[in-house]
Structure 1
Amino acid sequence: MSVVKAKKHLGQHFLTDKNIAEKIVGSLIHHDKYNKVLEVGPGMGVLSDFLLQKKEFETYLIDIDTESFLFLQKKYPDLGDRLLNEDFLKLNFEDIFQASFAIIGNFPYNISSQILFKVLDNRNHVPEVVGMFQKEVAERCTAKPGTKEYGILSVFLQAYYKCEYLFTVKAGVFNPPPKVLSAVIRLSRNEVKDLSCDEKLFWQVVKAGFNQRRKTLSNALSGIIPKEKQDDNKIWTLRAERLSVQNFLDLTNLIAQSV
């Protein structure tokens, strides 16, 4: 069977190390919360080989690359309509899945943040995500308050998921090798169904705080709440990177009461 050529414009770096592929699949641990798994960007099926050995769930594959899709059709003829030649970012999950499902993949690095925000938009349908990301993105997802990596993505993800950095992956196990290190993380949905605040305002506050992260919150959020309406709470003297998710929830409620 011929091989698929990795395409730069799709951000493709095919994993070649089967031991790492097996380790990634083994990192799916919350099997009691779903019976279907969607792999994003399977390429030539290195992860898929191990996923399809797992009989406890149905595996779906989605790849926007037609060459990969045709390759996988020949490799896995029994998949049928569980193999999708579509854009994950445009996929309507409810059209395919009637229940919760996990997401896994060696994700294209050029759309990794978009993938994570797609997960957030569908958080009540996705109890678990295991994936390969650029190491820098993986560190942002799992960062703690007070670190330089901590930012918008950290807060949004950690509001709804337990985010774990699992292991680092060197460039040499990919074809072609990326110019950066990679890392595998796991997101496990927490028990939060709705935030204890105005969620739209919460997103605005977090974004505004980190978009001017060198400024104190008093200055960074002055477009949302004028300084004359800010009280003497010391939170206004802090920078966004110092606040936990709970701190941001409390701040959002404080603002809602004042504007």
Structure 2
Amino acid sequence: MARKRFGQNFLHERGVIDRIVTAIDPQADDALIEIGPGHGALTDPLLARVNRLRVIEIDYDLIAALEARAIREPRLHVIAGDALTMDYAAIAAEAGAALRLVGNLPYNISSPLLFALLASAAPITDMHFMLQKEVVDRMVAREGDADYGRLSVAIAARASATALFDVGPGAFTPPPKVTSAVVRLVPRTPDFVIDDQPVFDRVIAAAFNQRRKTLRNALKNLLGADDIAACEIDPGLRAERVSPAAFARLANAAARHF
């Protein structure tokens, strides 16, 4: 039974599972981690492809079944605990390789977990996650798109994001009330310079806090109109028309003030 407090919706549709595994393309020596394995719908096909599979699970009822299976299948390593507070750097050190992460993430932890992973000191090759489609749409949006916003810019500063395919509610038990999507995230240094990450995040939060405001008004507590213009950006623009690289220039100017 799914527990509401964990936001669980268990994937069961074989065609979707096969598409996810194909997208990941696991190799035998990969340091692969599945977050939230649930009843093992993805665990089984992943385990068939790698020499060792680590799974992170917080639900004690599911942990018992996974640990019982691990006794029979030593290639399965169960890590009991909260994915949000896990020491991924220590796991990578133990594995001796950069991590690859996969999971059907509970919707209630998806954003904080993504940013915890992207801020982690652990080497991470890539991440393949099932999320709400509307979240994925915002993650991959570009300036001028209807879905472009704070999340789009924050992700662009930390990783490349690619929407792979949508998944309907019927692929899960119980079915969620929303459409889901699979996204690939590859952590990387952006092709623009960010002098101070907290200031960058503060600037984009202020810019998108009231989307109809121009930069001149939205950022008035951080930068004057002349400061914005000095970054070669029109102070009359709204945030949805400003690229991540342009936001970096604004943030770097703000950081100099601070």
Task: Decide: shared fold, TM above 0.5.
Answer: yes
Contact 1:123 1:160 in 2 (8 A): no
Tell whether 2:87 aligns with 1:92: yes
Query: What are the residue-to-residue correspondences of 1:151-230 with 2, within 5 Å?
Result: 151-192=149-190, 195-227=193-225
1:88-122 deviations in Å (ceiling 9; x for gaps)? 00111123221420110011011111111112212
**Number of residue pairs aligned between Structure 1 and Structure 2:** 253
> Aligned equivalents of 1:72 and 1:132: distance in 2?
21
Say which is worse superposed, 86-95 or 117-126, in terms of deviation: 117-126
How much is the aligned-residue C-alpha RMSD, in angstroms? 2.5
- The Cα of 1:245 is off from its aligned counterpart by 1.3
Of residues 114, 133, 136, the one that matches 1:135 is 133
Unaligned runs of at least 5 residues, structure 1? none
Task: Specify the alignment match of 2:22 in structure 1.
Answer: 26
- Counterpart amino acid of residue 220 in structure 2: S
> Aligned equivalents of 2:13 and 2:82: distance in 1?
26
Unaligned runs of at least 5 residues, structure 2? none
Query: What are the residue-to-residue correspondences of 1:34-113 with 2, within 5 Å?
Result: 35-55=30-50, 58-77=52-71, 78-79=73-74, 82-98=77-93, 99-113=97-111
Identity between Structure 1 and Structure 2 (%): 36
Contact 2:53 2:75 in 1 (8 A): no
Which segments of structure 1 move beyond 6 Å, counting only runs of 4 or more? none
> Aligned equivalents of 1:6 and 1:23: distance in 2?
24
Cα pair distance change 1:64/1:193, threshold 3 Å: farther
Say which is worse superposed, 85-94 or 70-79, in terms of deviation: 70-79
Contact 2:70 2:76 in 1 (8 A): no
Task: Specify the alignment match of 1:148 in structure 2.
Answer: 146
- The Cα of 1:196 is off from its aligned counterpart by 3.9
Q: Please, what TM-score do these two structures have when normalized by structure 1?
A: 0.88
Q: Please, what TM-score do these two structures have when normalized by structure 2?
A: 0.88
Task: Specify the alignment match of 2:248 in structure 1.
Answer: 249
- The Cα of 1:188 is off from its aligned counterpart by 1.6
> Aligned equivalents of 2:237 and 2:200: distance in 1?
17
1:147-199 deviations in Å (ceiling 9; x for gaps)? 23112221111122111111110111110000111111101233449944222
Of residues 5, 11, 15, the one that matches 2:11 is 15
